[in-house]
Structure 1
Amino acid sequence: MRLSRVVTSSALLASLSIPILAQTQPSLNTIIQSDGTVKALYESQPVLTAQVWMFAENWNRITSWQTMGNGSSTFARDGQLNPGILNTSTTYANSGGGTTFTFKATPSRYVTSSSDHVNISLDESFWAGATLSDGSSSTVLNADFLSSFSARSANARTITITRPDGFKATITAPGTVRYVIQDSRYNGFGFELRFDERTGGWASGTSHTYAVTIKYSTSTTTTPDSPVVVNEGSNWVQLPQSLSVQTGSALDWRDTFAQPAGSKGWLSVNSAGKFVFQNDSSKPQRFYGANLAHYACFPSKTEATQLADNLAKMGYNTVRLHHIDYILTEGTSANSTTINPTRLDQINYLIAKLRERGIYVSIDLYSLRSPKSGEVISGVPSFNDYKALLLVSNSARQNWLSYSTNLLNSMNPYTGLRWKEDPAIAWICLVNESTPLWYTGLRYDVKLLLDNAVGGSWDPWSDAGSRAAVNLSRSTSNWMASQMRSLGVKALLSDVNAGFEKVLSVARQDYDYVDNHMYFAHPSSGFGLPLQQRATSPLRQIKEEGWFAASRIQGKPFTVTEFDGVAPNQFRAEFGLMAGAMGVVQHWDGMWRFQWADNMGRALTVGAMGLFSLTGDPLNMATERATVAMFLRGDLTNSDTPYVIGNPANVANSAIFNIHPAVQQSVLARPIAQSVVSGSSPTAYIRDGNSTTNDGSVLTDLNRLTMRVNTPCTAGLIGGEGSTLSSGCLSATFTKSRATIYLSSIDRRPLTSSRRMLLAHLTDVQNSGATFTGQERSTMTDWGHLPHLAKDGAAKVTINVANPSIMRVYRIDLTGRRVAVVPFTRASKSISFDVTTRDPNSNTATIYYEIVTTK
């Protein structure tokens, strides 16, 4: 038996307490996938997964599998033994409210098994606090990472796993078998039960058969997994989309930012590491907005005005103009650095319109521009090759400098300023996502140049190789920054804006601000179909955001110029609420959603939902106002002292931070940062992994997968069907469907006395005809088409108000127009009403409600 070794950073860690609250007994949906994997789903998320696992010689785990089953009558897959194949198959039989699964495994060569077994992965959120018993001994699956139990093995025929609420899973073998239970949360596997474990020699062609019966407190029948097609009907309601928000409506969130942008002088950084304006240095500034990408940055004059108005109505005070370099130089045949005057005029006018509305601009000096053949090297280098060449090639650097000089010296006739003179262009990234560790798979001649530069083989993922790579990157960034300052550029500069490997902090310490990119459910298999992504709630993956948060360097501003909860993930609305709260709790200074649109058709016209497009996704669009309220407007505050992870430059290497999961889990509770200081080893001074901020304004229950935000002017809830939650003046019982609910004061008065409030009730939104391979919805095969459909949901909402007698509640559509009066009941200091996705009058979907006073 080999048990996972746990490695943590040295840390001052106190106990982590994540209480489990009573909830309705869950009803599970158990499926068997085409490869024979068994999954019990709760709210479409796997809470128990069973499959054959094997550790061959030297504990080499089979990780490369090929599905062989058809998913209807044959459930099988082959795993690579290197050499050889392990063929596995699964059959099942339902009986008595449970299912007996028979797993069969056969190797194609003789193998010495370190461990072969039925691996039963228990989701840490669903089962935390449960007790696993074999009848004679028991183990508590502690919610507290700091009370992780030691791995234990024994022999038993039946194992029960009982949650604190009484819900139970019973796992039975035909006879007594060996099992191992261990806490594998550190390795991303939740609680791991190795059932019916065998070891030793295993002859080629000989089968091992493992039979296991799984039964739950609530009767469950296993069925073959089947495709899911989203169609209008009892569970999905048509949602008419619009990008034309009515002026003055509850969805018009234009703010009174100082206009035009730049009127308070250049943006700078104060001694506390916060953005401030040159002429208003006493007030730290935050920025929130979205990316415009590709051809969406090049509208006609009429389009530019409309686009700038739409962005302003979202409440944005910044826009990132992204992937513009290749369009700005298209049609210029002589070289790749001359600016196309027609394209320049288009983007100049857009910048002027944004500037008039108080919207600041962020740009990159390289993202997708391709040099001409032979301009920097023979042929045309790929984007990754070009970025790598910038580390070692003078011709590549001069090419970059020539384009940058041409752009930044260009005059904008609509502002009367050159780009380098315009304080509204406040941030410049030197090279987008110039993370040197990612420079792999390069052309032979490019890699040879890098080999020569590091005096050996280019290997950016080794300890020494990562240091050499970052040293080259640091030298290149500093050269670029020096060239920009010599040119007269006053905008703030940054680079290496992707990745959270700790060696990157060595370079990032030189920049004016640290920038990074954060995604939840980013596609794992490219951007085409079939599209694969995580299908779980972001609350289940919160530790990854903890890793991300630790890339901030204490004492420097931190921006996130790309973030998104990526469609079609059905829980992405939760990430919107989480991201806004995270930005405040983590003391971030700027956030840009990726993206508004990537072409002018999408930028101004309603289209079907696709990857990374707010205008085609009314669900993500709806969460933006919650983030504007919490992060930009300042409804949520946090003044907690950050927990600083020591990351001395002399010991930094390529490995991801060795952060204790309890610390990662605390990303919505405690600010985290790092410091590049002298020292001998990374040390994390973290007090606890508590899921509640010190002032109680953000409370996250990672076992129930709930979240509550409580501020005077904004309250928010994330809850599952059957749960009842309250936060400040807002409470809700989620009677149908898991949902995100938030309530914000439009007039900025406290919610209890506000005269105008916006409430959003968000379930899921997909295109009509969206198709997924299975009920887990982790693989999409067809995006579908318009119209959008919202998942039917309902909740009973109560709002505490000063004077219930003068309140009115309206359904509003996506333009902000009031479409129906909502009946409600009054108590002495509250009103209560039902929010339902389906409007019974129009049979269309409602996601917004407006609550107002009559006087």
Structure 2
Amino acid sequence: MRPLLAAAAFVLGCFTPSANASDQWVPVRDVALEVQSGSPLDFSSFLPNGTIDADHRLVAGEGGRLAYVKSPEKPLRMLCASLAWSPASGGFPDHAGADRYARQLALHGYNIARLHFADASLMFGRQKDFDFNPETLDRIHYLLAALKRNGIYWIIDGLSSPRGAYGGFDDRWDANGDLKLRLHLDEEAFAHWRTLQEKFLGRVNPYTGVAPIRDDALALVILANENGIEFDSVVHERPGEPAYDKVLAAPFNEGLAKRYGSTDALVQAWGELEDDERLEAGTVRLPPDRYADSPRMRDLQAFFTDLERTSATRMSKVLRDLGYRGLISTYNNWPTVQTALSRRDLEAVTMNTYHDWVGGYAPGSALLQVSSIADGANYLRMIAAARWLGKPFVVSEYDHLFWNRYRYEAGVVMPAYASLQGWEVLCRHGHGPIVLAYGEPYPHKRAMLPYAIALDPVARAGETLAALLYRRGDAATSGINIPFAVRGEEDLGEDMQAREPERLTELALIGGIGLVPADRVDDAVGVAQPRTHGAEEILAALRDSGSLPQDNQTDTGRGIYESDTGQILLDRRAGQLRVSTLATEAAAFSSLREPIDLGVLRIEQADGNGLVALSALDRRPLLAHSRRMLLIFATDAQNSGMIFRDSEEKVIEDFGSLPVLVRKSYVDLALSRTAAKWKVSPVGLDGRVYPPVRTGAGPIAFRLSNDTPYGPTTYFLLELEES
């Protein structure tokens, strides 16, 4: 009887989304998700993608900003579609599907796409090295051509899978292979990577007539995704095993010998060695614990930096020798002091970041269920401090992950602050950013999952807002850049996790920040020397110089941060982020104790947390005069039949299945405008406009429910007729 009793206790301990889910959660009725041309969700008329040709090749233009080669003085913003397909999510589409998909990306406002794990897809089920699946290769080639025809540039990983193009593996999407580490150390591994570039990027695409590596559409190659040595060692660390792979020991000793010359000199630097450790014999050990600070750890970090910079130089030369002219980057995560030094010579900086990271899809996977606004958008600030000023900055992956109930925040936090920082590319990670319909028969499309934003109405609403706030340029770039002075290796300490302190990264909520070599920093106002200055000291200097307005509301002690543009206000304690621009006003809130006045839009009250945004859709997008506006109202969404192991919904037991359920909510809104007539119409997830649910004349004020007669939605169209 014990197993039955245990099972019964387990079932009683699990929780569905709500005891009265039929009252709080309503199922999405939309099935087809292709945006209709000319609908309110078709942004192609005011976010057109042009022709990709030699004049429009992307380069690092003036000030290191991404620009067309023919107009380097005009910076660009690129909204990126993450294409990380696998067999579990349907794989690469056939030709007809690729045409439809690429066209849909353009309608949604995307103008660049990142191919991630293409190597794994090409080698799925293959037994011989470099024996690419011919159908998959054909589909990738056709998709690249379809993207290019729709004015969508490419970012491609030189390597995503740690299995590379070796045959005979069935775990290509897992972190089991060691190729990323061996690339730094092993000539065979390096030759394998080089051959992969030759056979994939260097092969002529029959649908464009040119090899991808020489195509004007290829804007950026990430040499290998997340291939920093320290991070890779963390990924592969197992209980009871050494912290670092033994293959690092010999080159580490060689590096120490070059640095110190003798065991005696090493002892003077470190203080002590074990009796059997001799530099001359190459027997100095790697640190046994990566989390224990020591001089040994400090020198290991210096060794990693030297090795990583050498590797990036070698790998970059391979691409240049193959005729590549675009940008090159690597080491796109792990925002530590050490990795920042490894990135300092790169042509562009790429970074990945996540809020409330989830480790997998298995029962028992957990997140923290916390707000990103409550911690001052820390996941954004961490990568802001990894940027090197004067180089293009690309967010190659980010997400505020499902099933976190605050993930509506991502739709305003990331695009608003990416705009403020002047970042060049913004890429919310997922299998793909869109799907053409619900109900595709693939394991990863049968329910919303982490890293699968396309099925999530909340994430999709955020991407819609990102196209307006970020790519359209509704949110402005800061007029200040606060340089974090970097001396070099002397900035390394004994803590391998050391990064720029939070008291300084808070400045990213007010103006631009980034790293600058110390010898290139003059007496500019607000220079942040490594780990010595505080935010208040720098803010005071900026105010005194006039760089920051005297009436700026920033008060770090109270958790209030206002951008120098006056457009963004984050209040950590209230759990609110407000954005007010000429074309878009938006607010994300975990509580609403009093009305939020954004200028034109006023949020009077709401019955729960969520995101509300209003954007002008006219040719001249100004909310003060617009007659056609897109209204976004996003709350939360879950799958039908989701089961959690706890009442706080932190630990997943079963993801459930479609249809998606949207949390029903209402919000009371008012505009500081009047109209002879006005109406509010629901807009389906495919852009279809339904009959109005609110109408009026004169003052514009109404209660809006996301549970419409046509099913729940995150979109509404507000139309005005002036007398």
The TM-score range, normalised by the shorter chain, is: 0.7 to 0.9
Q: 1:819 to 1:265 in 2, by over 3 A?
A: closer
- Report if the CA contact (8 A) 2:479-2:565 is conserved: no
Contact 2:408 2:588 in 1 (8 A): no
TM-score normalized with structure 2 length: 0.81
* Shift in CA distance, 266/338, structure 1 to aligned 2, threshold 3 Å: farther
Deviations 1:107-152 (A, max 9, x none): xxxxxxxxxxxxxxxxxxxxxxxxxxxxxxxxxxxxxxxxxxxxxx
Shift of 1:781: 1.3
1:300 matched to which residue of 2?
94
Inter-partner Cα distance in structure 1 for 2:84 and 2:166: 25
Structure 2: which amino acid aligns with 1:285? L
Offset at 1:663? 3.4
Cα distance in structure 2, aligned partners of 1:564 and 1:382 = 20
Please state whether the residue corresponding to 2:473 is helix, strand or coil.
Answer: coil
Aligned partners of 2:369 and 2:650 also within 8 Å = yes
CA positional deviation for 1:258: 4.4
1:715 partner letter: E
Q: Distance in 1 between matches of 2:325 and 2:91?
A: 23
Q: CA deviation at 1:407?
A: 1.4
**Structure 1 position 298, deviation (Å):** 2.0
- In the TM superposition, residue 521 of structure 1 has moved relative to its aligned partner by 1.3
Matched, 1:327 2:136: no
- TM-superposed CA distance for 1:666, in Å, is 4.2
- Please, which of 442, 463, 467 is the counterpart of residue 628 of structure 1? 467
Q: How does 1:61-100 map to 2 (within 5 A)?
A: none
Secondary structure of residue in 2 paired with 1:438: helix
Distance (Å, rounded) in 2 between the aligned partners of 1:818 and 1:258: 25
* Equivalent in the alignment of 2:680: 809
State how far apart, in whole Å, the 2-side matches of 1:494 and 1:474 are: 11
* Match of residue 58 from structure 2: 267
Distance 1:640 1:372, change over 3 A: closer
Change (3 A) 1:657 1:466: closer
User: 1:567 maps to what in 2?
Assistant: 402
Distance 2:215 2:659 in 1: 42
Q: TM-score of the superposition, structure 1-length normalised?
A: 0.69
- Relative to its length, the structure with more strand (as a share) is 1
Distance 1:636 1:372, change over 3 A: closer
Structure 2 residue aligned with 1:361: 154
Taking a change above 3 Å as real, the CA distance of residues 393 and 781 of structure 1, as seen in their structure-2 partners, is: same
> 1:559/1:415 Cα in 2 relative to 1: closer, same or farther (>3 Å)?
same
The structure carrying a bigger helix percent of its residues is 2
Is 2:104 the partner of 1:310? yes
Q: Would the alpha carbon gap of residues 770 and 444 (structure 1) be closer, same or farther in structure 2, given more than 3 Å must change?
A: closer
SS in 1 for 2:712: coil
Kindly tell me: are residues 446 and 771 of structure 1, through their superposed partners in 2, closer, same or farther at Cα, counting changes over 3 Å? Answer: closer
Aligned equivalent of 1:746, options 595, 600, 617: 617
Q: Which residue of 2 aligns with 1:351?
A: 144
Map 1:774-853 → 2, pairs under 5 A: 774-801=646-673, 804-827=675-698, 830-839=699-708, 841-842=709-710, 844-853=711-720
Q: Deviations over 1:554-580 (max 9, x none)?
A: 111111111111001111011221111
Cα distance in 2, alignment partners of residues 478 and 516 from structure 1: 19
On the 8 A contact 1:261/1:423 being kept in 2, the answer is: yes
1:44 is aligned to none
Equivalent residue for 1:507?
A: 342
> Partner of 1:541 in structure 2?
375
Question: Aligned residue for 1:675?
Answer: 516
Q: CA 1:262–1:593 in 2, change beyond 3 Å: closer, same or farther?
A: farther
Q: Residue 408 of structure 2 aligns to a residue in which SS?
A: helix
> What is the CA–CA distance in structure 2 between the aligned matches of 1:519 and 1:498, rounded to whole Å?
10
Identity %: 25
Cα 1:780–1:723, aligned 2, differ >3 Å: closer, same or farther?
A: farther
Q: CA deviation at 1:386?
A: 1.1
* Aligned residue number for residue 644 of structure 2: 772
Query: Counterpart in 2 of 1:708?
Result: 578
Paired residues of 2:226 and 2:232 also in contact (CA < 8 A):
no
TM-aligned CA distance change 1:715 to 1:657, over 3 Å: farther
Does the C-alpha gap of structure 1 residues 731 and 640 become closer, same or farther in structure 2, counting only changes over 3 Å? same
1:697–1:710: 8 Å Cα contact kept in structure 2?
yes
Q: Find the counterpart in structure 2 of residue 103 from structure 1.
A: none
Among 482, 491, 498, the residue aligned to 2:326: 491
User: Is it true that 1:758 corresponds to 2:621 in the alignment?
Assistant: no
Q: Which position in structure 1 is the counterpart of 2:201?
A: 408
**Letter matched to residue 149 of structure 2:** E
Whole-angstrom distance in 1 between the partners of 2:141 and 2:671 = 46
Structure (1 or 2) with the larger CA radius of gyration: 1
Check whether the contact 1:756–1:852 (CA below 8 A) recurs between aligned residues: yes
Q: Quick one: which amino acid aligns to residue 238 of structure 1? A: P
**Structure of greater relative contact order (alpha carbons < 8 Å, 6+ residues apart):** 2
Counterpart residue number, 1:111: none
Q: CA deviation at 1:419?
A: 1.0
Identify which range, 704-713 or 249-258, moves more after superposition: 249-258
SS in 2 for 1:708: strand
Q: Does 1:395 align with 2:188?
A: yes
Letter aligned with residue 846 of structure 1: T
Asked if structure 2 preserves the Cα contact closer than 8 Å seen for 1:807 and 1:854, the reply is: yes
Shift of 1:340: 3.7
Query: Using a 3 Å threshold, how does the CA distance of structure 1 residues 339 and 852 change in structure 2: closer, same or farther?
Result: same
Q: Does the CA-based 8 Å contact 2:91-2:121 persist in structure 1? A: no
Q: Are residues 1:452 and 2:241 paired?
A: no
Aligned to 2:604: 733
Aligned partners of 1:607 and 1:615 also within 8 Å? no
- Going from structure 1 to structure 2, the CA distance change for 1:655 and 1:672 (only over 3 Å counts) comes to farther
Compute the displacement of 1:496 (Å). 0.4
* Post-superposition offset of 1:384: 5.0
2:78 and 2:456 mapped to 1: Cα distance?
A: 22
Aligned positions of 1:537-686 closer than 5 A: 537-542=371-376, 543-597=378-432, 605=440, 607-653=446-492, 655-657=496-498, 659-677=500-518, 682-684=531-533, 686=535
Give the aligned residue type for 1:229.
Answer: P
Which of 207, 229, 242 aligns to 2:17? It is 229
**Partner Cα distance (1:324, 1:490) in 2:** 21
Tell me what 1:698 maps to: 568
Stretches of structure 2 that go unaligned for 5 or more consecutive residues are 1-5, 254-283, 292-296, 522-528, 540-555
* CA-to-aligned-CA distance 1:33-80 (integer Å, 9 cap, x gap): xxxxxxxxxxxxxxxxxxxxxxxxxxxxxxxxxxxxx9x99xxxxxxx
Counterpart for residue 7 of structure 1:
none
Shift of 1:284: 0.7
Deviation at 1:706, TM superposition (A): 1.1
Structure 2 Cα separation of the partners of residues 294 and 849 of structure 1: 31
Aligned counterparts of 2:52 and 2:285: Cα–Cα separation in 1: 48
Structure 2 counterpart SS, 1:597? coil
Alignment correspondent of 2:259: none
CA contact (8 A) 2:214 2:325 kept: yes
Counterpart Cα distance in 1 of 2:73 and 2:625:
30
Compute the displacement of 1:769 (Å): 1.4
How far 1:307 sits from its partner (Å)?
1.0
How far, CA to CA, are the matches of 2:696 and 2:489 in structure 1?
65
User: Could you report, residue by residue, the CA deviation over 1:422-445 in whole angstroms, capped at 9, with x for unpaired residues?
Assistant: 111111000110111123247999
Deviation at 1:232, TM superposition (A): 3.8
Shift of 1:625: 1.4
Q: Distance in 2 between matches of 1:797 and 1:662?
A: 36
3-state SS of 1:715 partner? strand
Cα deviation, 1:762-796, whole Å, max 9, x if unaligned, reads 11111111122233221121111111111121111
Q: CA deviation at 1:741?
A: 0.2
Q: Note the C-alpha offset of 1:708.
A: 0.9
Task: For 2:617 and 2:174, locate their aligned partners in 1 and report how far apart those are by CA, in whole Å.
Answer: 51
